[in-house]
């Protein structure tokens, strides 16, 4: 297992020098943030980013993410050129020694929360999801004021994009994803790159848009449709865990045994029951007992089924007066990394070697 940390490049207030001081940190998970979505990433720019990490004593073996252009998700005629660009990016990342690409296939919106600074009982703040607030939003009728939504679309552009998705149901989106992945596989094999799809966050349809990587059935179907070891997942516990029907311990063990967990996002969330039964959860400290997810059980299932890939602490709270990027401050993610490493050490020292290590 390799512990990693997300780094948003040179503009990230959390510096590489800080990250390297977190115990057991092997590398950063980063991206090239200035290249527009759809354009290919040139080798020089990739190597420049890698050198920054390497000079700080950190690896750059996981990219999060190489975004997938909406035209690919829509399956429009424009997709083939964009897929060619994506393949060029894969080849260049492979040349630079990158091993895993995290991406997602969620139409228009990726992660969605109702609050970015929900105040918890201990005075820290974190991301939260309140179904009441999400239900009250209709991006087709009103300007969307969604926390974290980057407003890169005007209201008219967003409305036009949503109209185009009216003809794309979950089945069509799935076919478009299979088309995309199938095209990528030869380059992935030649380049030593594994694709790790990030599950839908949250794992259900939002604003009428289809979502397909939300549960075991969806992931199984994707693995069957493109049955290659390079077609894997980012096991994001907080994303999948928002749906209480998802048995994360089972999924972690099953997909690790298949060799399809290429990357793990470890995060805990806490469900707060509401009188009307609607969903409310906020993100919590990483340890099992601080939230509703069995983080220990998930790590144990990964360990026992031979997982030896990359992991990073996912969203942390803002604590100790830090006002960091929501979910991506330094302190709580660093605490999370050390907790995860501690659990892993205990697993290694108390259980027989995992299958990969014989
Ligand atoms: Mn995640």
Q: Give me the pLDDT at residue 308, please.
A: 95
In angstroms, the Cα distances linking 297 to 29, 241, 310, 333, 348 are 25, 13, 18, 20, 14
Distance 238 CA to ligand 1 centre (A): 7
- Residue pLDDT tens, the chain, 358 long: 999 999 999 999 999 999 999 999 999 999 999 999 999 999 999 999 999 999 999 999 999 999 999 999 999 999 999 999 999 999 999 999 999 999 999 999 888 888 899 999 999 999 999 999 888 887 777 766 666 666 677 888 888 999 999 999 999 999 999 999 999 999 999 999 999 999 999 999 988 899 999 999 999 999 999 999 999 999 999 999 999 999 999 999 999 999 999 999 999 999 999 999 999 999 999 999 999 999 999 999 999 999 999 999 999 999 999 998 999 999 999 999 999 999 999 999 999 776 555 4
Q: Which of 265, 282, 332, 339 is catalytic?
A: 265
Query: How many A from CA of 36 to the centre of ligand 1?
Result: 22
Query: Residue 188 catalytic?
Result: no
Query: Active site includes 303?
Result: no
Cis peptide before 202 (omega within 30 of 0): yes
Cα–Cα dist 289/302, whole Å:
19
Span from the CA of 314 to the centroid of ligand 1 (angstroms) = 6
Is 262 tagged catalytic? Answer: no
What is the bridge-based pairing of β-strands 261-266 and 310-313?
A: parallel
Q: What is the predicted pLDDT for the residue at 357?
A: 52
332 is a catalytic site residue = no
pLDDT at 151: 64
Is 315 among the catalytic positions? Answer: yes
pLDDT at 129: 94
What does the pLDDT read at residue 200? 95
pLDDT of res. 358: 43
Give the strands of the sheet with 125-130, arranged side by side: 115-119, 125-130, 280-284, 268-271
CA gap 167, 190 in Å, rounded: 35
Give the chain's domains with CATH numbers. Answer: 2-108+169-269+294-357 (3.20.20.150)
pLDDT at 122: 94
């Amino acid at each position: 297992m390799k512990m990693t940390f997300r780094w948003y490049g040179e503009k990230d207030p959390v510096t590489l020098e800080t990250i390297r001081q977190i115990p057991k940190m092997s590398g950063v998970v980063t991206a090239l943030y200035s290249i527009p979505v759809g354009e290919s990433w040139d080798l020089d720019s990739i190597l420049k980013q890698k050198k920054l990490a390497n000079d700080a004593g950190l690896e750059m073996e996981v990219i999060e993410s190489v975004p997938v252009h909406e035209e690919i998700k829509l399956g429009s005629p424009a997709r083939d050129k964009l897929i060619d660009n994506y393949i060029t990016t894969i080849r260049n990342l492979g040349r630079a020694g990158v091993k895993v690409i995290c991406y997602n296939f969620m139409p228009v919106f990726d992660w969605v929360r109702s609050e970015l600074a929900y105040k918890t009982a201990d005075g820290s703040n974190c991301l939260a999801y309140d179904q009441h607030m999400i239900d009250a939003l209709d991006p087709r009728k009103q300007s969307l004021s969604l926390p974290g939504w980057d407003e890169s679309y005007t209201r008219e552009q967003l409305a036009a994009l949503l109209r185009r998705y009216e003809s794309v149901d979950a089945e069509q989106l799935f076919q478009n994803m299979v088309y995309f992945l199938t095209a990528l596989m030869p380059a992935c094999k030649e380049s030593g790159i594994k694709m790790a799809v990030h599950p839908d966050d949250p794992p259900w349809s939002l604003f009428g848009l289809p979502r397909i990587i939300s549960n075991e059935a969806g992931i199984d179907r994707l693995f069957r449709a493109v049955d290659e070891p390079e077609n894997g997942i980012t096991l994001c516990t907080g994303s999948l865990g928002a749906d209480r029907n998802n048995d994360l311990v089972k999924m972690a063990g099953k997909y690790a045994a298949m060799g399809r967990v290429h990357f793990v996002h470890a995060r805990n969330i806490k469900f707060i029951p509401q009188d009307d039964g609607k969903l409310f959860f906020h993100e919590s400290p990483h340890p099992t007992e601080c939230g509703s997810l069995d983080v220990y059980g998930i790590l144990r299932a990964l360990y026992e089924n031979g997982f030896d890939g990359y992991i990073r602490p996912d969203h942390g709270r803002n604590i100790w007066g830090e006002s960091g990027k929501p979910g991506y401050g330094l302190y709580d993610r660093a605490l999370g990394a050390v907790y995860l490493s501690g659990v892993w050490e205990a697993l290694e020292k108390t259980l027989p070697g995992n299958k990969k290590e014989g």
